[in-house]
């Protein structure tokens, strides 16, 4: 590993946690008190990119007031070290995508808690007037004691209301293809029901080990989100209750008006609906066995 520098402002870089397409995530130690944090820093070749700098600042502005046990805490946005960076609480390196690398059965016995924590985080974000726009397993971290925290608010959007919603035109199409709602693909104005669709895709994958829609090309994948029938979770996991399958299928409805109206409605359904017919067994391995950390983030899907 090659370090470009030892310090960013008053933070001493200790180790590279993750390398993404535009950002690096470092574990860092604050000089004045030796407290440990995570720093999200633009990669060297991106440090003059005004759009990426704007994304970084936007992420901080969205998340700085999000005080919730299941949302990563963003502490400060700094511009005094030649490059802007965000200071975050240091949490687990493992995300839900990585946690399934040995199969969904490795997290199945904790899945009700994982799904509820993820949904509570999203409900809180919505209550603050934002849509996340990139709900996926990669954007939820999982700790060794099975605590979940939502991350990455880079493309989160303020929900438009009133005249703003009425006169909103096409929006820039952003997100991750495997989890994008039909209205997100079409560049339409988004509300919380778009995230509900993406959460449905994520829950489907956490249970079966694969996303509900796949394609040989990006366009084929997007086309399936727009028009293909909603698949049954029971095909990928026979232990799922028909009632829970119905909840996820409702979340994955093509039209926003056919989905639950809010994440509060989703939470009520999740809390009242068992996921599995029989309790999954505790596996011989857990997601942290042989996990070395590191790897790529923001990988294209």
Range of lowest pLDDT (9-13, 163-167, 190-194, 273-277): 163-167
pLDDT of residue 301 exceeding 50, the answer is: no
Could you tell me if 202 and 118 are in contact, meaning their C-beta atoms sit under 8 angstroms apart?
yes
- According to DSSP, residue 217 is labeled S
- In the block, tokens 């003059």 appear at 48
Model pTM score: 0.92
Q: How far apart are CA 194 and CA 257, in angstroms?
A: 10
User: pLDDT at position 141, please?
Assistant: 97
User: What is the model's pLDDT at position 163?
Assistant: 54
Angstrom distance (rounded) from CA 259 to CA 244: 14
pLDDT at 165 (0 to 100): 58
Residue 1 pLDDT exceeds 50: no
Domains recognised in the chain with CATH numbers: 7-90 (3.30.200.20), 96-271 (1.10.510.10)
What was the pLDDT predicted at 289? 82
Q: Tell me the pLDDT band of 162, cut-offs 50, 70 and 90.
A: low
Question: How far is C-alpha 124 from the geometric centre of its chain's CA atoms?
Answer: 14
Average pLDDT over residues 240-267: 98
Element (H, E) at 165: helix 162-166
Report, as residue numbers or ranges, the catalytic residues: 134
The proportion of the chain whose per-residue pLDDT surpasses 70, expressed as a percent, equals 92
Q: What is the pLDDT confidence band of residue 232, given thresholds at 50, 70 and 90?
A: very high
Beta strands in 6-139 (DSSP E): 7-8, 11-20, 23-30, 36-42, 74-78, 85-89, 130-131
Of 41-55, 101-115, 164-178, the range with the lowest mean pLDDT is 164-178
As a whole number, mean pLDDT of residues 186-196 equals: 96
Question: Whose structure tokens read 């009700």?
Answer: 112
Residue 285 or 92, more confident: 92
């Amino acid at each position: 590993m090659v370090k470009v520098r030892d310090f960013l402002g008053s933070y001493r870089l200790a180790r590279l946690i993750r390398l993404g397409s535009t950002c690096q995530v470092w574990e860092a130690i604050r000089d004045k008190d030796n407290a440990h944090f995570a720093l999200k820093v633009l990669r060297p070749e991106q440090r003059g990119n005004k759009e990426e700098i704007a994304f970084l600042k936007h992420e901080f502005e969205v998340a700085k007031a999000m005080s919730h046990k299941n949302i990563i805490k963003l502490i400060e946005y700094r511009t005094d070290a030649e490059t802007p960076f965000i200071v975050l609480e240091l949490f687990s390196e493992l995300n839900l995508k990585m946690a399934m690398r040995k199969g969904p059965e490795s997290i199945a016995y904790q899945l009700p808690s994982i799904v509820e924590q993820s949904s509570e985080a999203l409900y809180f974000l919505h209550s603050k007037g934002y849509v996340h726009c990139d709900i996926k397993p990669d954007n939820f971290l999982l700790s060794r004691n099975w605590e979940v925290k939502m991350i990455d608010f880079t493309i989160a959007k303020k929900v438009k209301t009133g005249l703003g919603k009425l006169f909103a035109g096409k929006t820039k199409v952003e997100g991750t293809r495997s989890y994008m709602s039909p209205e997100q693909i079409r560049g339409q104005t988004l509300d919380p029901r778009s995230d509900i669709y993406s959460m449905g895709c994520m829950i489907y994958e956490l249970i079966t080990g694969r996303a509900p829609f796949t394609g040989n090309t990006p366009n084929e994948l997007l086309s399936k989100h727009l028009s293909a029938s909603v698949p049954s979770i029971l095909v990928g996991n026979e232990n799922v209750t028909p009632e829970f399958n119905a909840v996820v299928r409702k979340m994955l409805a093509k039209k926003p008006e056919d989905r639950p109206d809010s994440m509060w409605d989703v939470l009520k359904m999740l809390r009242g609906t068992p996921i599995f017919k029989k309790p999954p067994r505790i596996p011989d391995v857990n997601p942290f066995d042989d996990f070395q950390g590191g790897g790529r983030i923001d990988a294209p899907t």
